[in-house]
Amino acid sequence: MIQNSLTQSHIQMQQQSSWRDDPFTLVGTVKGVAKVSHAKALTEYAEELVYEYGAYNGQEYELTFAQLPEYEQNELSRLHLEATDRDASECVYGDDFSIDNKYVCALLAMLQDDCVETQEAFAVATRKNVILYYSKYLQEVIDKACCVLLNNLNGEDALRSHQDNDADDINWKKF
């Protein structure tokens, strides 16, 4: 009878306790999901793009910024703007810094006649200029992501890289 009472008492105590009664006092140590830096988000997104759209030519992965769909170019550019603390001071001009560039002309037209058509023309000109301005840098980000993907996949296959001193090439071998 005493044994049954002790067992029943023990079961009741277990039911009343919760994860908050942690014997290791871990409560409060997990605050939630850690924030990923904008630069890290940019590189991870580029790696995903290479995985999805890249082509393996027998030695390396290849992907050009121009090959990406428009929505992927937009997202990559947005992530880059976030990674550079939203500095959009020059990118809106694209590669044309003249007084009559497409951005300024579209802005002036919209300011003169603020309607749906001029707003759309301004938005299109701005987006195209931002994409054009960042395309070279984003190609470098994609090129690095191509190398990372190749290294990761070859590492999974237990391949190791070594550099050929004569030809300055990097070769992959199983060791």
Three-class DSSP category at 77? helix
Residue whose structure tokens are 């939630």:
32
Residue 35 has a pLDDT of 63
Mention every residue, 6+ apart, whose C-beta is less than 8 A from residue 89.
none
Low-confidence ranges of the chain (pLDDT < 50): 1, 17, 19, 162, 172
Mention every residue, 6+ apart, whose C-beta is less than 8 A from residue 118.
106, 109, 110, 112
Question: pTM of whole model > 0.75?
Answer: no
Helix (H) or strand (E) holding 5: helix 2-16
CA 85 to chain centre: 15
Q: How far apart are CA 162 and CA 88, in angstroms?
A: 41
Residue 150 has a pLDDT of 85
DSSP 91-137: GGGTT--STT-HHHHHHHHHHHS-SHHHHHHHHHHHHHHHHHHHHHH
Please provide residue 140's backbone torsions phi and psi, each rounded to the nearest 5 degrees: -65, -40
Residue 162 has a pLDDT of 46
